[in-house]
Amino acid sequence: MVKPLKRVKCTVMYHGAHYSGWQVQNNVTSIQGLLEDILKTMHQRDVQVVGSGRTDAKVHALGQVFHFDTELNLNEAEWMKAFNRQLPMDIKIIEVLFVSKQFHARYSVVRKQYEYLIYQGEIQPFNYETHACIEPHLHRDNMRKAMSVFIGTHDFSAFCGNSYAETPNQVRTIFRFELEDEGDVLRFTIEGDGFMRHMIRMMMACIIDIGKGKLKISDAKRILESKDKTAYSGVAEPCGLYLTEVEYPEGQ
């Protein structure tokens, strides 16, 4: 007799420096791979971990979300303990909730939030894995003006590493894109209905180029409107990027 499966939603925090990213790949260590290894040992069968989306190598998460289905009889607190006992110190499950089968970590997403941290100064032993380090004097006003170009619903083909074969529809909506000046650190917060491969890092590279005076504000608009995948090739460093929050419909 097959036991009924329960769906488990987990929120995970990770320091991405030593990982090849979220997604399982051959011969490298991924967050998803480590989680699936733990679940395989516990279930004595393959268990698929479905994330809200990928994060690139060296990218961090404060609140990545995934789900899996299980027949095991652990409660939410026991799942949290079981994972954290087996995970390395740089990955930690911070919430476990039983959810209905309607919940899907990727398809149910309504909003994702990321942060990008720039340390304004030299790269150092205590920031090289957690911040993009850029010499000071970035032009904040121009960066903010460039950020406003991206807010709203646009075809982001020119700021996206996905082919049309992979992702036919490259229209996305950015709800919020803000910059807080914290002195040594510039904190960018970006929220949208979804982000494609390299999308945030390409927008950030363009914004940084504008902050440095290498590009003009009008270049951001021109590149975006071109929808041309060869129009811009900048990709900001992964180590400054954090997936901070994934939002689902009320009650999920």
Q: Which stretch binds a copy of itself (CB under 8 A): 9-17, 108-116, 144-152, 180-188?
A: 9-17
Instruction: For residue 125, state whether it binds a copy of itself (rule: CB under 8 A).
Output: yes
Query: What is the Rg, in whole angstroms, of the alpha carbon atoms belonging to the chain?
Result: 19
Report in angstroms how near the CB of residue 132 gets to a copy of itself at its nearest.
Answer: 14
The token pair that represents 194 in the structure block: 């979804």
Q: Site map for a copy of itself, 53-72, x if CB under 8 A?
A: -------x------------
Q: Which residue in 8, 9, 11, 13 binds a copy of itself (CB under 8 A)?
A: 13
Exposed/middle/buried for 81, CB within 10 Å: 0-12, 13-18, 19+?
middle
Give the binding range for a copy of itself (CB under 8 A) out of 97-105, 117-125, 184-192, 211-219: 117-125
Residue 209 is a catalytic residue: no
Q: Which residues contact 245 (CB under 8 A, 6 or more apart)?
A: 62, 63, 111, 112, 113
Applying CB under 8 A, the span of 2-10, 32-40, 126-134, 200-208 interacting with a copy of itself comes to 126-134
Helix axes 31-43, 76-86, angle to 10 degrees: 120
- Note whether 159 binds a copy of itself by CB under 8 A: no
What does the longest C-alpha to C-alpha distance in the chain come to? 67
89 lines the binding site for a copy of itself (CB under 8 A): yes
Backbone angles phi, psi at 22, to 5 degrees: -70, -50
Question: Do 45 and 138 contact (CB within 8 A), yes or no?
Answer: no
61 and 112 in contact (C-beta within 8 Å)?
Answer: no
Q: Which is nearer to a copy of itself, 88 or 152 (CB)?
A: 88
Query: Segment near a copy of itself (CB under 8 A), from 125-133, 135-143, 206-214, 228-236?
Result: 125-133
Report strand pairing: 185-192 vs 111-120. Answer: antiparallel
* Closest CB 212 distance from a copy of itself, rounded Å: 23
The answer to whether residue 6 forms part of the interface with a copy of itself (CB under 8 A) is no
Report the interface residues with a copy of itself, using CB under 8 A: 13-15, 60, 89-92, 123-126, 128-130
